[in-house]
Amino acid sequence: MPVTAEPGQLDEGLQDPNGRESPALDRHEDRRRAGVPTVSVLVGPLGSALQKAVRWCDSLGRPLVMLRVEQAGLAAESLVVPWVDRLADGRDLVDAAVAWLARRLDRPAGALGRSLRRMTPYEVDQFFDAAVPLESRTGVERLARRLIELAAQGRRRSAPGLAPELNALLDGKGRPWVRLLAALGELVPQECLPVLLVIPADGDPPRPPMEDLARLLAELAAAQPRAALALIIEPGRFEADFARAPDSRAQALLREGIIKVGESEDDRLLSRTHPAPLTPHPDDEARSAVERFVFDLLESMPETVGLFQLNATLDFAFGPGRAIEVDLLARSLKLVIEIDGYYHFQDPEAYRRDRRKDLELQTRGYLVLRFLAVDVVDRLEQVLDTTLSAVAFCRHRQATR
């Protein structure tokens, strides 16, 4: 069966004439709002598809959780736990629980929150027994009660470590971990939920099998239609993988969500040698769109979230009276990433200066990674693999000192 898509989804650019970053992704979000299970399947080059996803999340102010999955037999836990950790890291779930309870009881959230804060854990328990005697299908009431009880005890639990406790609370409410996504999707408004983006790793044979991913993503979408789930797949692999598997409801769900990613003008600028970097937004800390793109991707990955600073300054000089500045810095790990545009190699003195800068950093114990700007799109998988390997090395180096 050939790849099909909804009208207007093929070769969609990153932005339409009305200023929306991605009309097709917006339509998918409307479907989720209406309770229709939806998985957005971005079919196209990895760099272009990631750029689309990052820009769409930025335009909505939504956090992005990017997971690169490698193993067959993928478990729901491996997708849901990073999603919960990012949700709890970016939002006060106690406040979310109070707001949910206020909506349920049709009471002002501020007054209800003040009343709950004056209660002991026992009084919170008694209040819930009286005010919310019945449980819904998802068991969201259990989560709200537990979060408010923790606050009453003076303990506001946050990521990491919250997901297992909340999942255990939902015993009897469905399959483990899938039930947690369903319940949290009821507790937190849709516009505040992180976007979960899955990227299957390359391999021969492909891993994990597309049918396994399809089945799991379809199960998650059905359990909580409000959750924004997305998959990036290289052209050709989607059909090649599904050709080996019998038709299924999961396949059909993913086919309905296909967005074929075409090459936009920004993609062409990013993916070709060019004498100057792209100019970011005037208020952006990044000096180029490529730096911002890499930083946003690292912020979206559980292994590197909160680790890197953009255009950071170190406490030693490089050159006459100037503190050394690097593109991306993981200060705690003494790891530096530099993004080199084409212009770095057009000017021999700039090339020499970069080498002297690397030596200065290395003599002070920093590991330095240099990537070509063009490879951020054309060879993004390699860039991410190298970065994650370097992070693991630096963490091991730090732990063994």
Q: Cα-Cα-Cα-Cα dihedral of 262, 268, 272, 276, to 10°?
A: -150
CA atoms within 13 A on the CB side of 115: 14
* Residue closest to 258 by CA, chosen among 53, 42, 109, 61: 42
Instruction: Note if the pTM is more than 0.75.
Output: yes
Phi and psi based region of residue 194 (left: phi greater than 0; alpha: psi -120 to 50; beta: remaining): beta
In this structure, what token pair is assigned to residue 336? Answer: 């530096």
* Class of 268-399 in CATH: alpha beta
Phi, psi (rounded to 5 degrees) for 4: -125, 165
Q: How many residues does the chain have?
A: 401
The answer to whether the CB of 377 falls within 8 A of the CB of 45 is yes
pLDDT, residue 4, reads 44
* Residue closest to 76 by CA, chosen among 202, 189, 170: 170
pLDDT, residue 270, reads 46
C-alpha 5/C-alpha 7 separation (Å) is 6
The answer to whether the CB of 116 falls within 8 A of the CB of 152 is yes
In this structure, what token pair is assigned to residue 147? Answer: 């979060």
Residue 11 Cα distances to 193, 228, 319, 376, angstroms:
27, 21, 47, 21
Q: In what order do the strands lie in the sheet with 367-372?
A: 309-317, 323-330, 335-340, 367-372
Question: Range(s) for CATH 3.40.50 in the chain?
Answer: 1-92+156-263
Instruction: Please list the rounded mean pLDDT of every run of 10 residues in the chain (401 residues).
Output: 42 47 90 96 89 90 88 83 90 92 95 92 93 93 93 71 92 96 96 93 66 91 96 82 77 92 54 39 59 90 92 83 88 94 66 87 94 84 92 92 80
Q: Which fold has domain 1-92+156-263?
A: Rossmann fold (3.40.50)
In this structure, what token pair is assigned to residue 213? Answer: 């991913």
In this structure, what token pair is assigned to residue 267? Answer: 């993609």
C-alpha 47/C-alpha 30 separation (Å) is 25
pLDDT, residue 321, reads 66
pLDDT, residue 279, reads 42
In this structure, what token pair is assigned to residue 225? Answer: 């239609």
- What b-and-e string marks burial along 22-32, b requiring 16 or more CB atoms within 10 Å of the CB? bbbbeebbeeb
Question: Range(s) for CATH 3.40.960.10 in the chain?
Answer: 268-399
State yes or no: cis peptide before 194, omega within 30 of 0: no
pLDDT, residue 274, reads 35
> Beta-carbon neighbour count of residue 184 at 10 Å?
26
| Secondary structure element (H or E) that encloses residue 384, with its range | helix 380-399
pLDDT, residue 115, reads 93
pLDDT, residue 14, reads 42
pLDDT, residue 69, reads 84
* Residue closest to 328 by CA, chosen among 384, 382, 362, 286: 286
pLDDT, residue 157, reads 59
